[in-house]
Chain A
Amino acid sequence: MKYLIIGDSAAGVNAAQTIRSKDKEGLITILSNESIAAYGRPLISYYLSGKVLPENIFYRNKNFYKKEKINLFLNTQAQEIDVKNKKVNAAQKEFEYDKLLIASGSLPLIPQIKNLKEQKNVFTFLTFDESRKIKESINPDSKVVIAGAGLIGLKAAEGLYGKVAKITVIDLADRVMASVLDKSAADIIQNHIEKKGIEFILNKSVAEVEGGEKVEKIILSDAKTLDCDIFIIAVGVRPNISLAKNAQIRTSKGIIVNEYMQTSESDIYAAGDCVESLDLISNESKVLALWPNAVSQGETAGANMAGEKKLVPSSFAMNAISFFGMQLISAGIIGGSDADIYVDKNGDKLRRLNIANDNLIGFVLINDNQRAGIYTALINDRVKLSELEYDIKLKDIGLNVYTKEKRRDKIFGKEE
């Protein structure tokens, strides 16, 4: 059996590992368009800041691929899937497959900006190579402009903090992390980051760039200008679906898969940030570009490719991230008209719970996070809050929210 996997990150690696645990002999090949083996993608900001050493960025041990007998081809961009002949063309080579997994991830979203070409000092912030290029380009006098105050933009800012002269973050929204946080939570984060000397320009977008080989000036939507030595575009991501699309595989925003991670072509599977999956809370098909989701989907795809029948677990949005020591944890839906929102704010701490129809449907925790997983489980298990031992709005949530019998079952592993 020949297994071919396009993409060497969370979904791809876990798929390969799962296949190997079930099929000791099959030929497993991973094609990666990156220059190094799988790494913790979110760690690229820590690499930039120096908090994580290059040797610690890898997602698996050095001998992982060898031990699991996985052929890894780096710098090998897949160009075309030949569905009929079960082949993938990549880097002037042909790779045959019996089962194929597309785990091609996301691509950075590039907004319409006048004069924006591929100037030397324009970067995105999604890969290790980009991060390394930024690291090589900056100097202590650099003025950095980051377009996008979402997760990626803010992590880029944190990674650059202390290494450059000035960092300015621009966003069209009225707040940072607009897709994850409401205004009150976003303000806590923004204030915290501002204290470090990072400047925010909100409710504005980048209209135009000026300069020659390099971008030298940024012109905002209100015609204000900013000097710029490094321009980082971090306005968002989109699923990388062109390969699938060109192969006539069903796609929408992302690749469409069934509950076994199978695409419209029965021998082709897809997993990770490039697919759409069912959101547990809204019950809609969405692109949930989340690391744990990619891992689960990769494992599910791998198991099914190796001949098992495994259903993919449902998922919902969740994030754990820190900015300059401030910890932000969120999951589920952040707002909603019919939600009952409970906010417990104390200085730098925030606990915000969204409750609808006796279910917890979302939460945001800032610097108050030891028991976040209990909340996540309440969302995931669709637990009726009225059946719990006490009101989850109270402090100190723990397993003690459950009844004695339920808690016993959980601790004794009866729910596994």
Chain B
Amino acid sequence: MKRIYAFEDKCLGCGLCEVYCRTAHSKSKDIIKAHKEENIVSGISIEEIMSPKSAFYFALQCRHCKDPKCVKACISGAMYKDENDIVRNNKDKCVACLSCVLVCPFGAIKKNTDGKAVSKCDLCVEVGSPVCVENCPNEAIKLLDEDSEILK
């Protein structure tokens, strides 16, 4: 399956991926309204790595694991792997117990600000293609097949 991969040596740490992720997952789909009127937690987040010579950044989001620990840990059946192998969270069922946060080895799941559900990358299935990839100004986030040459 195709997954999103982040490249540290290209990431600017600008955070535009987060902005577009929030917008795409807002009700209004309007960048300004999404940020000023809705309170959305991005499914992608910029991680900063301080190294002695310079700061590095990379964009972290759900890896859509083959054998997802979050799905196993989910007590409500809200977290599931859909027919396209995308790990998704059904917000109606999620009770934000954070069992998924407890087991995600990437730290890629976050509690939503409303406290009612968790937020994670859904590969923008409802939008079409991942907006973080499309809007990354430096092609530091790519949607690739898992056997893609670049990853070797």
Contact = CB atoms under 8 A, between A and B. Distances in A.
B99 A320 contact: yes
Contacts of B92: 56
B77 A59 contact: yes
Given A42-B97, A322-B98, A369-B98, A399 B60 contact: yes
A292 B99 contact: yes
A256 to B, nearest CB: 23
Given A40-B77, A400-B49, A404-B8, A46 B95 contact: yes
Nearest to B70: A373
Interface stretch (B12-20, B22-30, B105-113, B127-135): B105-113
Interface residues of A, number: 49
Contact of A373 (B58, B67, B104, B146): B104
Contacts of B136: none
A410 interface: yes
Contact of A292 (B73, B76, B95, B146): B73
Interface residues of B, number: 41
Contact of A411 (B58, B67, B75, B104): B58
Given A296-B72, A320-B97, A404-B8, A399 B3 contact: no
B6 interface: yes
Interface stretch (A22-30, A135-143, A200-208, A323-331): A323-331
A413 B3 contact: yes
B67 A416 contact: yes
Tell me which of A320, A329, A373, A413 has the highest count of chain B C-beta atoms within 10 A of its own C-beta: A373
A52 B95 contact: yes
A60 interface: yes
Contacts of A327: 98, 111
Given A296-B72, A411-B58, A416-B66, A320 B101 contact: yes
A113 B87 CA distance: 48
Contacts of A46: 95
A43 interface: yes
B103 A373 contact: yes
Interface string B19-50: 00000000000000000000000000001111
B103 A292 contact: yes
Contacts of A90: none
Nearest to B96: A322
Nearest to A295: B72
A388 interface: no
Contacts of A404: 8
B149 to A, nearest CB: 12
Contact of A325 (B102, B104, B115): B115
Nearest to A58: B77
A411 B63 contact: yes
B21 to A, nearest CB: 16
Contacts of B99: 291-292, 320
Interface of B: 3, 5-6, 8, 47-50, 58, 60, 63, 65-67, 69, 72-73, 75-77, 92-93, 95-99, 101-111, 115, 146, 151
Given A40-B76, A52-B95, A399-B47, 8 more contacts: A43-B95, A291-B99, A295-B73, A325-B115, A369-B102, A373-B107, A374-B107, A411-B63
17 contacts: A46-B95, A51-B95, A291-B73, A319-B102, A369-B98, A371-B107, A373-B69, A373-B104, A381-B105, A399-B60, A399-B106, A410-B63, A411-B5, A411-B58, A413-B63, A413-B146, A416-B66
